[in-house]
């Protein structure tokens, strides 16, 4: 099964730094063994919105995917400041990160708002990466699921990312065994095709988390290409 490696840049970097980042990644893939190994992985970059048009071209040639970090709960129309799925047409964006812990905490996103965003993403044929930040994930997932009618039909376009709030940006990743328990629970109850882990993932711990999950969501350690490439190298080495 495909493993996902997602770089969530949050509100960091600018266009020059982003281009440099992708050029460095391109250089890393000059190494044929790296290029071949990561063919079986889905590398996804979630940049700030304004960087997407420029990254769209570069990402096509590099075969990395793009995700937005958020999406409007509405369609096209009079919603000042919001970016909806239709605005992204033609920009090579296949994924939408939804319900991130920072969105819930700092922007007051409720389960019903997250559910509306999920519906918008699916209507635009995007794959949603739904973030859950509570140790008790069932009520959090249930609160969203109960508001989305065609959940079962769309499950192939849903990736769940378990990111315990305390582990995000703290430098203290969650306990691998505890994460494994949660991930197995999500897989059993929801027959979820892909479940990822996020929260202080680094080159040092990424292989452990990849072993028990379908991928990792990386924030701080994705901002500098050197760190991100170290993380990719650690994944490659662990598989040998
Ligand atoms: P972090 O962020 O790797 O800096 O903890 C992860 C995330 O919030 O997606």
Mean pLDDT by 10 residues, the chain (240 residues): 95 97 94 90 97 92 94 98 96 97 97 97 96 91 92 89 96 96 89 91 97 97 97 92
Judge contact between 9 and 220, C-beta under 8 A.
Answer: no
Q: Which ranges constitute the DSSP H helices of the chain?
A: 15-28, 32-37, 52-62, 101-106, 111-123, 137-145, 151-154, 176-190, 206-212, 225-238
**Residue 183 has what DSSP assignment?**
H
What atom in ligand 1 is closest to the CA of residue 168? 5
Task: Write down the pLDDT at residue 205.
Answer: 98
Task: Write down the pLDDT at residue 192.
Answer: 73
Q: What is the pTM of this model?
A: 0.96
Whose Cα sits closest to atom 2 in ligand 1?
219
Q: How far is the CA of 160 from the centre of ligand 1 (A)?
A: 15
The catalytic residues are: 100, 163
Q: How far is the CA of 198 from the centre of ligand 1 (A)?
A: 6
Among candidate residues 116, 192, 97, the one with its CA nearest the CA of residue 152 = 192
């Amino acid at each position: 099964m495909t493993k996902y490696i997602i770089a969530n840049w949050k509100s960091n970097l600018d266009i020059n730094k982003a281009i440099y980042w992708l050029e460095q990644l391109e250089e890393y893939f000059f190494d044929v063994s790296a290029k071949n190994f990561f063919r079986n992985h889905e590398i996804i970059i979630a940049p700030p919105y304004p960087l997407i048009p420029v990254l769209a071209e570069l990402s096509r040639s590099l075969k990395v995917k793009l995700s937005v970090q958020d999406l409007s709960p509405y369609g096209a129309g009079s919603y000042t400041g919001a970016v909806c799925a239709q605005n992204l047409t033609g920009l090579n964006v296949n994924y939408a990160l939804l319900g991130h812990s920072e969105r819930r905490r700092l922007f007051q996103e409720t389960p019903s708002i997250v559910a509306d965003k999920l519906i918008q993403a699916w209507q635009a044929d995007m794959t949603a990466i739904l973030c859950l930040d509570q140790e008790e994930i069932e009520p959090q997932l249930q609160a969203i699921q109960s508001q989305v009618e065609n959940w079962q039909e769309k499950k192939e376009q849903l990736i769940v990312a378990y990111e315990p709030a305390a582990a995000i940006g703290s430098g203290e990743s969650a306990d691998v065994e505890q994460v494994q328990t949660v991930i197995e629970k999500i897989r059993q109850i929801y027959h979820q095709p892909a479940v990822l882990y996020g929260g202080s993932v680094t080159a040092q711990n990424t292989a452990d988390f990849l072993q028990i999950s379908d991928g990792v969501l990386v924030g701080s350690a994705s901002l500098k290409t050197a760190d991100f490439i170290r993380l990719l190298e650690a994944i490659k080495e662990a598989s040998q």
